[in-house]
Amino acid sequence: MTKIHLTIPKHKKYLREIRTDEYSLGVLPLKSLPFSFRQADPATYHETDEDPFLEVDEITLQEIKLTCYTFARDKLLDYLASSEKTRYDCTDFLKRYQIPEAQIQDLLTWAEKKKYLSDERYTEMFIEENILSCKSPEEIRYKLKQKRIDASLINEKLCERYTQESKMEILEQLIDKLVRSNIQTGKTKCYEKCATALYRKGFRYEEFKALLNQKIHNSLDE
């Protein structure tokens, strides 16, 4: 027989974490617990009471493990259904429900095998979307690193999808917009403001210097 304890996850009062003395089996909504488990619910006990517990046989233990795994899997599927996610996103999401670490890793491996989750696919889509939004390679790289995407994968996908041609198209669009907004400040001030904005976006000075000078010159001649 195995001792079972229930605890209430922080900020998830409707859930109960189910633990043995050694490890966590997972979490379940209180309403989904077998009725016999309710007697060990800590919500019905006072702080001065002894820690309540149940004793269950091996069959019941395995059934609870499976039920907890199914609950966590369904939570993950609901989360993945809304938009493309990364392993880091999913890990962070499941941890909020106090899903055990081993269970999280099993679920992520399962989701990847089913093609529901892919850091590679996320990276490709993220780069494409941010190219359309005129983001620099450095901006994209920084944001993907925050998602704990592997650096080699980021570099590989940037090389594939962020070509020199696309970079120059983006620079031209950004510079046109910046020059229109700042040309009234005069040539020198306009150049400084535009150059600062481009630098902050992650573009290198040598990449935009000539084009920026040309665009300002053309605007002043109009």
- Do the Cβ atoms of 11 and 97 come closer than 8 Å? no
CA dihedral sign of residues 105, 107, 113, 117: negative
Contact partners, residue 36, CB within 8 Å, separation at least 6: 54
The ranges of the chain with pLDDT < 70 are 38-54, 221-222
Strand partners of residue 147: none
Q: In what order do the strands lie in the sheet with 15-19?
A: 24-29, 15-19, 2-7, 54-56
- Do the Cβ atoms of 8 and 43 come closer than 8 Å? yes
Beta-sheet pairing, 24-29 with 54-56: unpaired
Is 165 exposed, middle or buried, given 0-12, 13-18 or 19+ CB atoms closer than 10 A?
exposed
- Residue 48 confidence (pLDDT): 43
Sequence letter at residue 43: A
Is 146 exposed, middle or buried, given 0-12, 13-18 or 19+ CB atoms closer than 10 A?
exposed
151-161 and 137-146 helices cross at what angle (nearest 10)? Answer: 150
Whether the full predicted model's pTM is greater than 0.85, yes or no, is no
- Residue 32 confidence (pLDDT): 79
- Residue 217 confidence (pLDDT): 81
- Do the Cβ atoms of 84 and 121 come closer than 8 Å? yes
Cα-Cα-Cα-Cα dihedral of 206, 133, 159, 117, to 10°? 150
- Do the Cβ atoms of 57 and 41 come closer than 8 Å? no
Matching residue, tokens 């005129």: 134
